[in-house]
Amino acid sequence: MKIENICVAKLNFGTTFNFELKTRMKSLAFEKNTVVDKQLSKKEFVQFSLKGKSPKQKVKLLILRDLWNLDWDIRIGKKKIEVFPPASYDKETIKQAMSIKREEAINSNKKWIEKHIELARKNLANGYEVLSSKIEPVIEVCETDKQHALFRMYRYYWSSPYSDYVGRRIKLLIRDKALPNRPVIGIAALGSPIIHIPERDEFIGWDKATRTKNLIYTMDAFVIGALPPYNYLLGGKLISLLLASNEVRKIYREKYKDKVTIIDKRIANSLVGIFTTSLYGKSSQYNRLKYKDLMLYQPIGHTKGYGTLHLSDETIQEMVKFLRSKNIEINHEFGDGPSWVMRVIRTAGDMLGFDSDFLLRHSFQRSIYFVPLAKNFKQVLNDNAKRPKYYDLSKKDLTDYWRERWFEKRKLNPDIITKVFDFSPSQFTIE
């Protein structure tokens, strides 16, 4: 059930409405005035308006709404509201949450999308052309307004929500130079890693101090995907392979050759590995993805559901407004990465009196993958080697391998050929 400005019960908010953590029960309790003692069923709700509410009240109401959307149990007592997270999120619940966040972004950018939809269509391939193409990818760094507009349009295509990444960031368009108009095969983006992921840190062998010092030599791939009609031909695997290429590593080195970290003044131009995640268990795109005998996407575990994806953008923005109403600004600098959103939630939690760590801990579990760019990545990331010994993976070699391993085989499948042949750029929509 999708709930917008809907609350789980008629709440009689006064000026005092405090959060409290019930550790024994593992629940987040909301102290309030008086409400009858009951547990809500999923069919019960009462409409409320955010109009006229203080920033503090808005944040609390929106948190309740977001958790209700994700099937948290809501228990209303005479003096408090308690919310209990589910033991786990099933695939459909995660998809629903992603859909809500994506719809949020699309609805707030409808005019912009309508203005740029033809630009997106003009940069896609006709299906019949792709079937005769040799597919020769060229990697284009987004620098111009047009390139950024294309990337943004294509990012809206997927079910996961679009959001602007802070910190280090590289956005890439991968085009097919084998066709006259060089259509876009897919897109990819690298950004600053999340600071604290225990499973990742254990895999590398990091303690807190070493991680803080050397995280700068890694990136997170937060977008990897192919667009139609290339997606039918497993173009997503091609984009994934290309992120391990010498060319992408050189793009990174060139972009950050003069960048210095804020905290310890380190140059950030050596990239030795890339992390990425999959929301729905094992990823068909990354799982066992190799180049010959080299496992390029190494599965290293699962997150424990620590993050912010279960909270809507609207809620995060209201937290920012609430903090600003208290003259608190959460700035983000070079190298901050997605930790900025977590800091917003933590700071708002401290101000509102609720346990933000409990809330952050109940996001969605993800499969974690690591892409090694250097043979001695662990030594470099643990200060046991100064110079990375890079793998020599050219764009050409990776593409040739993809063609032989996947592309040529997909072209033998009649159903796939029909899907590719029938695709026209005019069919491309964002909705």
Q: Would you kindly state where each structural domain of the chain is located, as residue ranges?
A: 6-87+306-361, 92-304+367-427
Q: What is the mean pLDDT of the chain?
A: 82
* pLDDT at position 266: 60
Contacts of 12 (CB under 8 A, 6+ apart): 32, 33, 34, 35
Question: pLDDT at residue 87 above 70?
Answer: yes
What is the model's pTM? Answer: 0.79
Give which of 281, 302, 296 is closest to 238, Cα–Cα. 296
Question: pLDDT at residue 40 above 60?
Answer: no
Question: What are the distances in angstroms from CA 272 to CA 59, 171, 246, 254, 295?
Answer: 40, 18, 11, 15, 15
- The 3 state secondary structure assigned to the chain is CCCCCEECCCCCCCCCCCEEEECCCCEEEEECCCCCCEECCCCCCEECCCCCCCHHHHHHHHHHHHHHHCCCEEEECCCEEEEECCCCCCHHHHHHHHHHHHHHHHHHCHHHHHHHHHHHHHCCCCHHHHHCCCCCEEEEECCCHHHHHHHHHHHCCCCCCCCCCCCCEEEEEEEECCCCCCCEEEEEEEECCCCCCHHHHHHHCCCHHHHHHHHHHEEEEEEEEECCCHHHHCHHHHHHHHCCCHHHHHHHHHHCCCCECCCCCCECCCCCEEEEEECCCCCCCCCCCEECCEECCEEEEECCCCCCCCCCHHHHHHHHHHHHHCCCCCCCCCCCCCHHHHHHHHHHHHHHCCCHHHHHHCCCCCEEEEEECECCHHHHHCCCCCCCCECCCCHHHHHHHHHHHHHHHHCCCHHHHHHHHHCCHHHCCCC
Residues 261-310 have pLDDT tens digits of: 655 556 668 999 999 998 766 678 898 899 999 999 999 998 877 677 77
In this prediction, residue 22 has a pLDDT band, given cuts at 50, 70 and 90, of very low
Q: Any idea which of 70-84, 181-195, 312-326, 341-355 has the lowest mean pLDDT?
A: 70-84
Q: Any idea which of 286-290, 305-309, 327-331, 336-340 has the lowest mean pLDDT?
A: 336-340
Question: pLDDT at residue 122 above 60?
Answer: yes
Give which of 279, 248, 235 is closest to 369, Cα–Cα. 279
